[in-house]
Every structure is written in structure tokens, then in C-alpha cells.
Amino acid sequence: MKRDDYIAELQAVILNLHGVSAEYVETVPVSEQFQGQTVWEGEVEVFELHDHPKAQRAYAWGYSTDDDDRRYVTVLELPPVTSPETAVKASIVRDYREQQKGH
């Protein structure tokens, strides 16, 4: 997938989920470690949000699942999320909690 298409897809996801347009700002590489192990590594796209009532920025990324589906993650910049790194941490915690509910 071309980079421009990927950014456009993330912008469409942000519009769909949060109801606001988003302007691409930058790409930030993030590596999240837990107990000495890498639990997440990738690039987080940073977007400025237009007219969102609470957040000025959103962090977003996409990934392929085991069955070749494409999934997207968006995290609004609302405390405690203040950076691409904290957005990844919040997403990991959310995923972990959802997995625990399923058991």
C-alpha cells in the first residue's frame, strides 16, 4: 500500500470514529518494552484534529491480522495519552483488558 493511501485510510477512520477531519503531522517510530521484551514496535501516525470538542491530536496506525484483514487503531490525545508512546501503551492496556473479559 502506498504511503499516501495509508494516511488517507487513517484519516477516513478518524473521521468515521470521531466525526472530525484530521491533518497528517508526522510519523513517529515507537518501540514498547515490557519486562525486557518488545511487546509492540511500529510507526505511529500523528494527526491534528479539526473541531474536536476535547482532543487536538489523534494517534493512529494500522496492521494486518493473521487472516489478512486490515485493522486500524486510533487513540485521541486525552490525558493520560500525551504522545505516540502513551497512545501505544493505552492501546496495549485496552487490548489486554478486552482479552481478560473474554476469558
Look at residue 14 and give its three-state secondary structure: helix
With a CB cutoff of 8 Å and minimum separation 6, the contacts of 90 are 75, 80, 81
The distance of Cα 100 from the centroid of its chain, to the nearest Å, equals 21
Domain count, the chain: 1
pLDDT digits (tens, 9 = 90+) for 52-90: 999 999 999 998 888 878 899 999 999 999 999 999 999
Sheet strand arrangement including 22-34: 22-34, 37-49, 57-64, 70-76
pLDDT digits (tens, 9 = 90+) for 19-52: 999 999 999 999 999 899 999 999 999 999 999 9
* pTM score: 0.91
Q: Which domain holds residue 41?
A: 3-101
Grid cell in block for residue 87: 497512545
